[in-house]
Structure 1
Amino acid sequence: MFGHQERVAILLLIGVALAVIAAHIVLVQIGKTPFASAYTDQSADGTLVSLSGTIDQATVLKNGGHVLLTVKNVTVFIPVTVAGDRSFVKGSNVTVFGTVQTYQGKKEIMVSAAEDLRTVP
């Protein structure tokens, strides 16, 4: 039915698919921590960063339910799809992973996934 070359090609294809699946599983397990740098005022837009600290202010925006946190004088934007039904309390400790972006001339961190936001009451 299949010749030698076809069998080799199918085995190679299966091997590559298994390698990609295994890499995906490993990367999901280790998370973004090894790939994120600590946030600084010099962090460039588009950079994956992390920030840990105490929530100084939490504001739910009236136009859409997005959340703005202030942590260490840095604004963290959390879209409603990421925030979900979580509540954010001033004084809670938080660790966020997100992408640096500039909004209205001010740098902020945008969180893009629920697992990139960890709170400790």
Structure 2
Amino acid sequence: MIGISALLLLVHLGLDQVGSAAFATPWHPEVEDGTLVLLRGEVTEVRALSGDHLLMEVNGTRVFLPARVAARAEMREGTFVEIVGTAQTYQGQKEVVVESASDLTLI
């Protein structure tokens, strides 16, 4: 039992080091909703929304940051980023929804 617990702890720590980007599919507009995706590029627009949410555009793709993520992220136009998020369709447009501030990396 101790051996299994130790193994699970090592796997968990290893996955934390690798990050979710290792499991994400490269972004493309035809990806299915619910898919974990990786998007890299330049932030070309940042808009504040009601409820303290942010909406960004990265390489022509909408990226939604819920308030809990936006509060911990300082995104500016002209910044190059790597984003891991979930693809979804909102009001007929594909977008990437970021679930954690750790899924935003400046590059």
TM, length-normalised to structure 2? 0.93
3-state SS, counterpart of residue 89 of structure 1: coil
Match of residue 10 from structure 2 = 22
* 1:39-97 per-position Cα deviation (integer Å, ceiling 9, x unaligned): 00111111111111111100010x21111110111000011111224332111111100
1:41 lines up with 2:44 in the alignment: no
Higher relative contact order (CA 8 A, sep 6+): 2
Overall identity of the aligned pairs, in %: 37
Structure 1 unaligned spans of 5+? 1-12
Deviation at 1:33, TM superposition (A): 2.1
Q: Tell me what 1:103 maps to.
A: 90
Using the alignment, how far apart are the partners of 1:42 and 1:15 within structure 2?
44
Aligned residues: 107
Please say which structure displays the higher CA radius of gyration. Answer: 1
Q: What stretches of structure 1 move > 4 A for 4+ residues in a row? A: none
Other-structure match for 2:100: 113
What is the alpha-carbon root mean square deviation over aligned residues? 1.2
Q: Scaled by the length of structure 1, what TM-score is found?
A: 0.83
| Structure 2: runs of 5+ lacking an equivalent | none
